[in-house]
Structure 1
């Protein structure tokens, strides 16, 4: 049985959805990511074969979609969180990753992000923020969903309770 981690009580300002800027994944982007990740399956690399298949075009590998999404998602939430006194520190991981539709060359993608929760850690100034991200294309088709976690510094936010306050020294 997994233990339930204690979370911060989030004020209403934390319940927002941010939509990233759009990014059209060009042939160059598609080729660069495919080559960078050594994705060699013909589903990703053989255009003539895929044009004749049921897929109708090459599909970008899932790991590449997540990499593009991280680059789009973080800048869309960072200013809002910084304004609330929360600073993103480092990526902690991904959970609940699901791919529902393919990403093809020349698709334009956006990432819609909302804060799920912020988990407390043993350090009062440090938390783990969990985002629910959804990668969608220009037609609103969902391509991928996941939970992205990052360490965050909450010491300048309303969430922070200074442990030295109320201590009798």
Structure 2
């Protein structure tokens, strides 16, 4: 598990978003909005094709960061999630995350702290498609 150090920056592996990801997320979430699941409709939009659900990309970014070992069993709970969506992620786009540990502080409860992570999600063209901030309660030694 990676040590919680303010200012530390980490880059995730890339992951290609597939049609199967979008269909599975639609089924899981119940979000069958046409821009995600209807190719004919999506062709009439500015994107010109289906795009992934914003929360699917957010979840994928957090999942990729989990593989880095920056969360793990130290996380006790979610405090806040603030996320901005800057562009669509199409089927076949490969995204990766850049994550910075921006704040780590002890809480008033013994053995606990609060950690803030800042995310930038970038596609294969170098475009920032999402940015966000995740605040969690963590176990502290």
Normalised-by-shorter TM-score class: 0.7 to 0.9
1:119 is the counterpart of 2:96:
no
3-state SS of paired residue (2:74): strand
Structure 2 CA distance for aligned equivalents of residues 89 and 114 of structure 1: 16
Matches within 5 A, 1:138-149: 138-149=124-135
1:45 is the counterpart of 2:37:
yes
How many correspondences in the alignment? 137
Structure 1 CA distance for aligned equivalents of residues 105 and 6 of structure 2: 14
Give the superposition deviation at 1:139: 1.3
In terms of fraction of residues, the more strand-rich structure is: 2
Unmatched tracts of structure 2, length 5 or more: none
Calculate the TM-score normalised by the size of structure 2.
0.86
Calculate the TM-score normalised by the size of structure 1.
0.73
Give the superposition deviation at 1:60: 1.5
Matches within 5 A, 1:147-158: 147-155=133-141
Aligned-residue CA RMSD (Å): 1.9
1:71-123 CA deviation, whole Å, 9 max, x = no partner?
11122242xx88xxxx6223414433110001111111101000110132112
1:38-59 CA deviation, whole Å, 9 max, x = no partner?
1121111111221233221112
Equivalence for 1:128: 114
> Structure 1 residue runs of 4+, over 4 Å off?
none
Structure 2 CA distance for aligned equivalents of residues 70 and 88 of structure 1: 15
Unmatched tracts of structure 1, length 5 or more: 1-12, 156-169
3-state SS of paired residue (1:43): helix
Structure 2 CA distance for aligned equivalents of residues 103 and 94 of structure 1: 24
